[in-house]
């Protein structure tokens, strides 16, 4: 199967099976730039089905790039609340300001310039170049990576490194519809070449897939080791209200409300008789012991918040999980 036939088969499949997504509807060029920028940033580390309602609400509240550049941080964080990885939202606003100031309100159609914008790296820049500007780029997300691993039967660490995957994507060749083509390949990974129980009989590239021929669909992931860290959350209660502080101490959840907490060593964590919970943030597994403290204490940038006040504050899911835990304590 030559590259032209591969492209033809993939686009044929896409035309018949593409999902209806809010950022794929008929848009002006300016809207397409904004919708793609917002959706691609949201889709970093978050699944499509999770992103859709957040995207719709975000666009309703902050409908264009100028509105984003001028929106207040409190409103921005409220629109982002529940998506996690809040640095993405802050970077999105920084990017909007730069585009308004330096690029006359339009996304630059240069991969090098795109990479200078906050929060935009290799994948997001190539996705924008393909989807928005209809350029010959194939972004490699987790879905495309999985297709390449199965088609070429890549199993070793050496075979699945970034450079080799970028070489292997030449399999797809070029298309006269670059925007649709890039999205089609990612769509096949999401809907057909799934991590478990792939629908190989429906796949437009199954004829060239080594994993399909061998009936072996296990794919090796790059070794990623989450750091395990131990913390003690200090719970100060006053008339059913709990003390939260603005986080300026830790690199995660910057400037968001958290319970006062400190990092502790593993031995202290294990020797504690307090209730504990596990929370995963980015590449860190957090083990948190809940220490209820009876005496009151004052912190700068602190707030007393009760259960009924939760909806009036922008709280990361991290804080809500601890809140729910102490409610059941």
Q: Which residues are catalytic?
A: 40
Residues 6+ apart with CB under 8 A from 66: 96, 100, 105
Distance CA 17, CA 10 (A): 10
Q: Retrieve residue 288's tokens.
A: 């948190």
Q: Are strands 284-293 and 276-281 parallel, antiparallel or unpaired?
A: antiparallel
Rounded to whole angstroms, how far apart are CA atoms 211 and 209?
6
Q: How far is it, in rounded angstroms, from Cα 79 to Cα 219?
A: 36
Backbone angles phi, psi at 299, to 5 degrees: -125, 150
DSSP sequence for 57-92: HHHHHS-SHHHHHHS-HHHHHHHHTTS--THHHHHH
The whole-angstrom separation of Cα 16 and Cα 13 is 5
| DSSP string covering 299-323 | -TTEEEEEGGGGGGS---HHHHHHH
Total Cβ atoms within 10 A of residue 54: 18
Beta partners for 286? Answer: 229, 279
Q: Give CA–CA dist 160/165, Å, rounded.
A: 6
Helix (H, G, I), strand (E, B) or coil at 188: helix
Give 202-238 as a 3 state SS string. HCCCHHHCHHHHHCCCCCCCCCCCCEEEEEEEEEEEE
């Amino acid at each position: 199967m030559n590259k032209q036939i591969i492209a033809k088969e993939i686009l044929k499949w896409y035309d018949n099976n593409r999902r209806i997504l809010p950022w794929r509807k008929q848009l002006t060029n300016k809207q397409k730039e904004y919708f793609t920028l917002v959706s691609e940033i949201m889709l970093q580390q978050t699944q499509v089905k999770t992103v859709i309602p957040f995207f719709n609400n975000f666009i309703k509240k902050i409908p264009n790039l100028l509105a984003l550049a001028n929106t207040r941080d409190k409103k921005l964080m409220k629109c982002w609340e529940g998506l996690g990885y809040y640095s993405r939202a802050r970077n999105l606003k920084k990017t909007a300001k730069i585009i308004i100031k330096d690029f006359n309100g339009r996304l630059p159609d240069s991969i090098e310039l795109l990479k200078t914008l906050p929060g935009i790296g290799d994948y997001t820049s190539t996705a924008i170049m393909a989807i928005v500007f209809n350029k010959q780029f194939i972004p490699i997300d987790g879905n495309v990576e999985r297709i390449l691993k199965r088609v070429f039967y890549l199993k070793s660490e050496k075979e699945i490194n970034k450079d080799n995957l970028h070489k292997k994507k030449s399999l797809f060749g070029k298309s006269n519809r670059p925007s649709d083509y890039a999205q089609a390949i990612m769509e096949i990974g999401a809907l057909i070449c799934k991590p478990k129980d792939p629908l190989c009989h429906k796949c437009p590239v199954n004829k060239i897939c080594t994993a399909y021929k061998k009936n072996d669909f296990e794919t090796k992931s790059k070794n990623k080791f989450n750091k395990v860290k131990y913390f003690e959350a200090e719970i100060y209660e006053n008339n059913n209200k709990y003390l939260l502080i603005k986080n300026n101490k830790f690199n995660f959840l910057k400037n968001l409300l958290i319970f006062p907490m400190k990092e502790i060593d593993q031995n202290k964590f294990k020797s504690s008789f307090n209730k504990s919970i596990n929370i995963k943030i980015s590449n860190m597994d957090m083990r948190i012991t809940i220490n209820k403290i009876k005496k009151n204490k004052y912190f700068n940038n602190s707030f007393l918040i009760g259960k009924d006040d939760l909806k009036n504050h922008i709280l990361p899911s991290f804080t809500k999980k601890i809140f729910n835990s102490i409610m059941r304590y």
